[in-house]
Amino acid sequence: MKKSYVGVIGVEVMGRNLALNMESRGYQVSVFNRTGEKTKVFMEGDAKGKNIVGTYELKEFVDSLESPKRVMLMVKEGKPVDEFIEKLLQFLKKGDLIIDGGNSFFKDTIRRNTYLNEKGVMFIGTGVSGGEEGALKGPAIMPGGQKEAYLLVEKLFKDICAKAYDGEACVDYIGPDGAGHFVKTTHNGIEYGDMQLIGEVVWFFKNALQMTGEEIAEVLKKWNAKDDILRSYLIEIAADSMKEKRHGTNDFLVDKVADITRMKGTGTWTVGSALELLVPVPTIAASIFAREMSQDKDLRLEVSKVLKFPKKDFSKEKKELIEIAHDALYIAKISSYAQGMALLQAASKKYDFKLNYGKIAKGWREGCIIRAQFLDDITKEYEKNPELPNLLMAPKFAKFVNENITKLTRFIEVAHQAAVPALAMTGAFNYILQLASPIMISAQVSALQRDFFGAHGYFIVGGPKNPEIEKNKEGKMREFHTEWMLPGRPEREITK
């Protein structure tokens, strides 16, 4: 029997759809699942009559593949990935390839890469974004691992992935070992941020402007029009779902759905990495905190009986405030993506991922959940200047932010007066304010407090008009301590 080009382990929806996608592009695919029953259902259902080989033993699965063997794991991240790797090692040979296409933690991917490298088996940890539809019709793919390993699947990935409007494939080699999964995790953090920002706008529309679901859907639909700067998949599906009636009833689903956002956790990894790498990501963090708060339903119900605030009605200014919300959302998005990109920069430095930010943005233009017109603009800004210190410095975005920042101020002000929380919006706004502050006075105060209570030292700047930090002849920042407890409070330079 003809051997398969690739094998997929795991026939849950993502694995199943990826296998179907591969088959539809002319590849013979073998499939295996821990519980054979699911393979059987798949083989007798969607895979029936297709060039897909169902296997029921792991050896049979591996034997059914041509060499070098390409095995794609589409199983739950964590232990199942390690378990399958161990089992596969019994049958794989040097030069064969394992691809982990789940949402794995990048440090696990680095560990697995080292482990498999020692055994001569190649390994790719790849982000696959786009949900079930993406997996079937064309996801965005973010592969990390050895370059030679990537070359074994480059053609396959290029064939099955999404294509942007200019025909470019939404896949590119991201970098070594954990790079692909780090980029996917960051994608998900940005996704959380986008979703939270859109959610805050809808809350604003409903409670500050008293808009109905249908009206909101109309506005969001306009924001998703061709050439609108906000045009994106998440705006599109938000618009779509806003006007949805609960099946079999006359109620809007958005009024009936419980206010609880669960999460599998990739966004928390993004924020965890940001904490570890000392990169501020307030919008992304706000989106996690908002999801956490949403899950505290009982407590919120209790507290809402005790704490009550005035809720000003702004519906008379509806038209103007809708326009303000549009530009406020765009600025917040720029800020949020700037945070995500800054995280990628820091990770690239720390883990030597050698990331190419323009290419990453390019690969996110189609297929993935955050796909948007905006990503094409980001791509172009990085193409013009690959060394951009921060996305907010890209001329196109800096200009928009400078000209429209007061709209974000207004949005936040109105939201708060209407008692609408705007955690992510505020995080985005304050990120910009802090980033654009040559002197962060709050940090000056904290530096003094630390030196006062703990003798932790401080650096010196030239003064309010000269924000540069004083350096010694070797170019090191000069450090000082005030003897707060001594009479006259003398200052001494710390030289160690």
Minimum distance from residue 267 beta carbon to ligand 6PG (Å):
6
Q: Which is nearer to ligand 6PG, 132 or 218 (CB)?
A: 132
N-terminal to C-terminal alpha carbon distance within the chain:
72
Residue tagged active-site, from 23, 69, 77, 184: 184
Q: Which is nearer to ligand 6PG, 28 or 268 (CB)?
A: 268
Minimum distance from residue 268 beta carbon to ligand 6PG (Å):
8
Minimum distance from residue 130 beta carbon to ligand 6PG (Å):
5
Minimum distance from residue 165 beta carbon to ligand 6PG (Å):
20
Q: Which is nearer to ligand 6PG, 4 or 339 (CB)?
A: 339
3-state secondary structure the chain: CCCECEEEECCCHHHHHHHHHHHHCCCCEEEECCCHHHHHHHHHCCCCCCCEEECCCHHHHHHCECCCCEEEECCCCCHHHHHHHHHHHCCCCCCCEEEECCCCCHHHHHHHHHHHHHCCCEEEEEEEECHHHHHHHCCEEEEEECHHHHHHHHHHHHHHCCECCCCCECECCCECCCHHHHHHHHHHHHHHHHHHHHHHHHHHHHHHCCCCHHHHHHHHHHHCCCCCCCCEHHHHHHHHHHCCECCCCCCEHHHHCCCCCCCCCHHHHHHHHHHHHCCCCHHHHHHHHHHHHHHCHHHHHHHHHHCCCCCCCCHHHHHHHHHHHHHHHHHHHHHHHHHHHHHHHHHHHHHCCCCCHHHHHHHCCCCCCCCEHHHHHHHHHHHHCCCCCCHHHCHHHHHHHHHHHHHHHHHHHHHHHCCCCCHHHHHHHHHHHHHCCCCCHHHHHHHHHHHHHHCCCEECEEECCEEEECECCCCCECEEEECCCCCCCCEEEECC
Q: Which is nearer to ligand 6PG, 164 or 325 (CB)?
A: 164
Q: Which is nearer to ligand 6PG, 265 or 280 (CB)?
A: 265
Minimum distance from residue 425 beta carbon to ligand 6PG (Å):
20
Q: Which is nearer to ligand 6PG, 198 or 325 (CB)?
A: 198
Binding site for ligand 6PG (CB under 6 A): 103, 129-131, 188, 191, 263-267, 368-369
Minimum distance from residue 179 beta carbon to ligand 6PG (Å):
16
Residue tagged active-site, from 191, 200, 366, 381: 191
Minimum distance from residue 245 beta carbon to ligand 6PG (Å):
24
Q: Is 191 a known active-site residue?
A: yes
Q: Which is nearer to ligand 6PG, 189 or 282 (CB)?
A: 189
State the residue number with the nearest CB to ligand 6PG. Answer: 129
Q: Is 184 a known active-site residue?
A: yes
Catalytic annotation, residues: 184, 191
